[in-house]
Copies of this chain bind each other. A is one copy, B any other.
Amino acid sequence: MNGVTEARAEISGGVVDLLGVLAYGELSAFDRLAEDARSAPTLAGRVALASMAGAEIGHYEMLANHLHAHGASVEEAMQPFRQHVDAFQESTAPRTWLESLVKAYVVDNLAADLYRELATVLDDEIRRIVLTVLDDTGHSAFAEREVAAAIEADSSQRDRLSLWSRRLLGEALTQAQYIVAERDGLAELIVAGSVDLSGIAALFRKLQQGHAKRMQVLGLG
The A interface, classified by DSSP as helix, strand, loop or mixed, is helix
Q: How far is the CA of A30 from the CA of B43 in the complex (A)?
A: 14
**Residue A9 at the chain B interface, CB threshold 8 Å:** no
Q: What's the Cα separation between A43 and B30 when bound, in Å?
A: 14
Contacts of A57 in B (CB 8 A): 50-51, 53-54
**A35-B34, A37-B31 as given contacts; A54 in contact with B47, CB under 8 Å:** no
Copies of chain A in the complex: 2
What residues of B have a CB within 8 angstroms of the CB of A27 in the complex?
46-47, 50
Contacts of A31 in B (CB 8 A): 34, 37-38, 50
Determine the distance from Cα of A46 to Cα of B46 in the docked complex, in whole angstroms: 21
Residues in chain B near residue A75, CB distance under 8 A: 43-44
* Chain A interface size, under 10 / 10 to 19 / 20 to 34 / 35 or more: 20 to 34
What's the least CB distance linking A54 to chain B, in Å? 3
A75-B44 Cα distance, complex, nearest whole Å: 7
A34 to B44, CA, bound (A): 18
Query: Is A58 part of the binding interface, using a Cβ–Cβ cutoff of 8 Å?
Result: yes
- Within 8 Å CB of A99, what residues of B? none
CB distance from A76 to the nearest CB of B (A): 10
| Nearest chain B CB to A81 CB, angstrom units | 12
A interface residue numbers (CB < 8 A to B):
27, 30-31, 34-35, 37-38, 43-44, 46-47, 50-51, 53-54, 56-58, 60-61, 64, 75, 78
Nearest first, the 7 closest Cβ-Cβ pairs linking A and B are: A54-B57, A34-B34, A54-B54, A43-B75, A50-B57, A30-B50, A51-B57
